[in-house]
Each structure stands twice: as C-alpha cells, then as structure tokens.
Amino acid sequence: MTARLSLICRHPIKSHGREDLASVRLLAGEGLPWDRAWAVAHEAAKLREGWSPCVNFARGAKAPALMAITCTLDEEARRVTLRHPERGEITIRPDAAEDLPRFLDWVTPLNPPERAQPARIVSADRAMTDSAWPSVSVLNLASLGDLSARMGLPLSPHRFRGNLWVEGWAPWAEWEMLGRRVRIGATVLELRERITRCKATTVDVETGLPRGDTLAALETGYGHQDFGLYAEVIEGGEIALGQEVELL
C-alpha cells in the first residue's frame, strides 16, 4: 500500500486550539508555518530569550479542558478565533496587548484553580514546539489504530497534537525509520527523534475530559510512552493531503 499524507494540522497558540489544513508550504530548518507561533505563559513562568521549555506554558497536560479548543487563524491579520464547547467563541490578536484581558477572561475558567494561572501570550523567533529545535511532528495512523484497538477506544489523532499524519505505513513502522528521510512532494524531512508523551493524550478532545489512559496503554503494551517522531525539514516545498510519502 502506498503511504500518503492523510492529515495536516497546526496549533497557532500552543495548546490552545487546532486547525486542519489541506496544504502548507514548509521551509527548510523551520517548523510548520504558524504552528506554535504563540504560547500562553503562566504566572510562574521563567522565560528565557527566544524558545522556552513547555513547563512555562499553560497546556493540556495540566489543564485538560484546553484540549477541546479548536481554532481558525487569519494569517494576514494575525488574528485567531478560538472555540470551546463550554466557553463559546472568541477572536483575538495574540500580539495585541488590548486583547489580552478578554482572552484571559475567556480562558482562565478552563484552567484548574490550583494551578499557576495564564498570564500573557508570548512569541519567539521560531515555532515553540516541545523539541529544543524547530521540528515538524510526523505520526502514523496505523499505530494510532493499533493503540485504539488495544484500549478498546477510538482515539482521535488530535489527542497527540501532531502536524503530519501518514496513512499506509504498517503499525509502529516509524520506529524503524529513525534517522531516515521521507519525501512528500518536493519536500524532504529527516525523522530525528521519538516523541515521549504526556497526560494531554489521555483527554477526549471533544469534551476536554480525561477518557482512556493512553500512557498506561503505551507502557504496558509496548514498554514505553512514545508516539510519533520529530522531524527536521531538510528541503522545503508545498505539501498537500493525498500526496505520496516516500521513504528515502
């Protein structure tokens, strides 16, 4: 079976909404455009210049309700519309200080009161992925199907907040691809690191409530808590749904 690109997803504000795409242009050495372009720093954050580790930000591992947010990005206006089943819809400009109070009023109820609360929206000179280098995540739909079957629960790909999902690989074949390159259209990516998962993946993305212990299922079934790979864009280009994913 020919492997093909089945899903493209970005998360303009880290951990605060997901948006599916039909196509995107990748650039060498950069993350997926507009993915994790902003992040919500909490009141206990100790930020460094540029990229900062994920512990400084409000995220689904600590605030499960955030996992139910979807979004739409207006790239030209740098404006994001966020939607949540309990909080309704809000449109903000993450760079605009005057929009911050409205955003905090909207998002704070989605954060547990005992946790450090969201305080401000920040950006860096690169995608604020969980990797310390600009990455695009690549994941395998057959592996998701295998994990779903083991758990007896259909798992949404959006639990794993990935960028590129591939259909047509054998389950867990991605582990044998570490260090290899793949071509999608004119784009070449190098598969560099396994992704170790957190509690965000235990949350139902429709409700924002925990449902199904993915971490325990990974540990007991496979001896680790890894799912998906971080990749580096080696050669940029346009990619689109349905394109062949060729292992080089």
pLDDT tens-place string over residues 156-188: 999 999 999 999 999 999 999 999 999 999 999
Listed residue (16, 55, 8, 69) closest to 38, CA to CA: 16
Instruction: Name residue 19's beta-bridge partners.
Output: 10
Q: Which domains does the chain have, with CATH numbers?
A: 4-30+131-247 (2.40.33.20), 38-123 (no CATH)
Mean pLDDT of the chain: 97
CA distance 119 to 233: 33
Radius of gyration of the chain (CA): 17
Token pair for 212: 């199904």
Average pLDDT over residues 190-217: 98
Contact 3, 171 (CB under 8 A): no
What does the pLDDT read at residue 221? 96
pLDDT tens-place string over residues 44-91: 999 988 899 999 999 999 999 999 999 999 999 999 999 999 999 999
pLDDT tens-place string over residues 129-151: 999 899 999 999 999 999 999 99
What does the pLDDT read at residue 49? 87
Q: Phi, psi at residue 58, to the nearest 5°?
A: -65, 135
Cα 97 vs. chain centroid, distance in angstroms?
A: 25
| One-letter amino acid for residue 10 of the chain | R
Average pLDDT over residues 89-98: 98
pTM: 0.96
pLDDT band at 7 (very low <50, low <70, confident <90, very high): very high
How much of the chain exceeds pLDDT 70, in percent? 100
Cα 230 vs. chain centroid, distance in angstroms?
A: 11
